[in-house]
Amino acid sequence: MKAYFAVGAALIAILIATLLGYGVYLNQRGEHHIAERMENMRVPLTGVTVRYRELFPVREMDLVNLYSDEMTDVVVLESGRITEAFVEKNSHVLPGQPILMLVNEDIPLKIRQADSDILEAEAQLIKAENSYKRYAQLMEWSAVSAEKYDEAEATYKASMARLENCRAQREQLLVRQDRLTVTSPIEGEVLMLYKKLGAYVTAGTAVALVGDFKRMLFTAPVEDRSAQHMDANRELDITFEGSAAVQKSYGAQYAPGNLGEHQVFHARVAKISPPVDEPADVRQVVWEIDNSVGILEPGVYPHALLRPKLSRRCLTVPLEAVTNSSKNEVAVLSADGTLQRRGVVTGANDGHFIEIIRGLEEGDVVLISDTEGLKEGIAVDVKMEEE
């Protein structure tokens, strides 16, 4: 019985070893076949040739701080109480147009006093002039001493000076009286009235805000390689995404025919500093926007898109060829038919194509298929896309 048991156990052990060996053989053979298939597999992808194209580069700005150089406070130059307002909020005013009227009761009294002083000074001048002329005649006849003559002359000149001083004081009071009519220093729209009727204001107090928003400006730093393509006065279009472009802080008036948040604003490059013919890595660019539609006001606007009206020819690839968010890497087809990752320096884009400044040459093939997860060096079968 024990002999049969031993023989059975031996047979079972032999069977298990045989199965294990066969399993190892099949596993190795399968791995070999998989490796052979992987070596011979070519991943199907789509490619595009790198070439020169006419590009209308779109510049995206997350935030734009608009300002106007035609915006100022109206400041009173004389103390007084506000008795009359000639304009309302959002009124259009011209330079020198009255805005408010002040009353200062001291000034009319001082003008009357100045008038009295002038009359008195004129009477004294007439008396001194007659005396001076009489002494001058006596001096010719040697009937008066030189000392008396000099004294009469000095009195006459002092009387003239006193009269001129009284007249100057009156002129100054008239200027102060004119200043009680507060006028606008610039043409524009009355954006705010700080003071109400009856309020007493002192000299130097701001009573209103006037601004002309037909021309808006904004400034941004630009790398030299981009600034080299920005000629002064070059025209472009600007759009602002969302309703932020129609949110007014000052309540300035809209112009007829405006398109609200869908408005396309015409602009131009107003200034580049330092100029592009001077060496610099970064330049400050000032853009000027035509805001005759009255939509924009000074403030921060999110996500602006700048589109030039003139194209420029540059080396480009489709935007989808850039494989990372930093836009500095592409996948290319190498000479041996494998996938290769390559670093590039990119420039502007127009939403479809992006400028290649460095890293690719005309005629290279970039892959526009999704290559995430594919290792560098894998064999690829590229189908060229026709444009």
| 158 and 142 both lie in a single domain | yes
Q: Please tell me the predicted confidence (pLDDT) of residue 38.
A: 47
8 A C-beta contact, residue 263 and residue 244: no
Please write the tens of the pLDDT for every residue from 116-168: 999 999 999 999 999 999 999 998 888 888 999 999 999 999 999 999 999 99
Task: Write down which residue in 288, 311, 334 finishes a domain.
Answer: 311
Q: Please tell me the predicted confidence (pLDDT) of residue 57.
A: 82
Q: 34: pLDDT confidence band, cut at 50, 70 and 90? A: very low
Q: Please tell me the predicted confidence (pLDDT) of residue 360.
A: 95
Pairing, β 43-49 against β 380-384: parallel
3-class SS shares of the chain: helix, strand, coil, % to 5: 30, 35, 35
Pairing, β 299-308 against β 59-66: antiparallel
Tell me, what CATH number does 150's domain have? Answer: 1.10.287.470
Task: Write down which residue in 279, 311, 343 finishes a domain.
Answer: 311
Please write the tens of the pLDDT for every residue from 182-241: 999 999 999 999 999 999 999 999 999 999 999 999 999 998 888 888 877 788 999 988
Task: Write down which residue in 276, 292, 311 finishes a domain.
Answer: 311
8 A C-beta contact, residue 70 and residue 252: no
Cα torsion 130, 134, 139, 143 to 10°: value is: -150
Please write the tens of the pLDDT for every residue from 49-87: 999 999 888 888 889 999 999 999 999 999 999 999 999
Q: What is the DSSP string of 302-371?
A: EEEEEEESS-EEEEEEEGGGB-STTS-EEEEE-TTSBEEEEE-EEEEE-SSEEEEEES--TT-EEE-S--
79 CB neighbour count, 10 Å cutoff = 18
Number of separate domains in the chain: 5
| 251 and 323 both lie in a single domain | no
Q: Please tell me the predicted confidence (pLDDT) of residue 35.
A: 46
39-48, 166-175, 216-225: segment of lowest average pLDDT? 39-48
| 77 and 150 both lie in a single domain | no
Name the more confident of 160 and 17. 160
pTM: 0.69
| 189 and 229 both lie in a single domain | no
Which residues touch 384 (CB under 8 Å, ≥6 apart)?
46, 47, 48, 49, 365
287 CB neighbour count, 10 Å cutoff = 24
How many Å apart are CA 269 and CA 314, to the nearest integer? 21
Tell me, what CATH number does 235's domain have? Answer: 2.40.30.170
Helices (H), 189-277: 224-227
| 306 and 227 both lie in a single domain | yes
| 323 and 300 both lie in a single domain | no
8 A C-beta contact, residue 253 and residue 189: yes
8 A C-beta contact, residue 159 and residue 121: yes
| 242 and 304 both lie in a single domain | yes
| 379 and 263 both lie in a single domain | no
| 370 and 347 both lie in a single domain | yes
| 378 and 322 both lie in a single domain | yes
Q: 7: domain range?
A: 1-41
Question: Residue 107 pLDDT more than 60?
Answer: yes
8 A C-beta contact, residue 360 and residue 49: no
Find tokens 């093939």 and name the residue.
365
| 174 and 111 both lie in a single domain | yes
Round the CA-based radius of gyration of the chain to a whole number and report it: 44
| 127 and 148 both lie in a single domain | yes
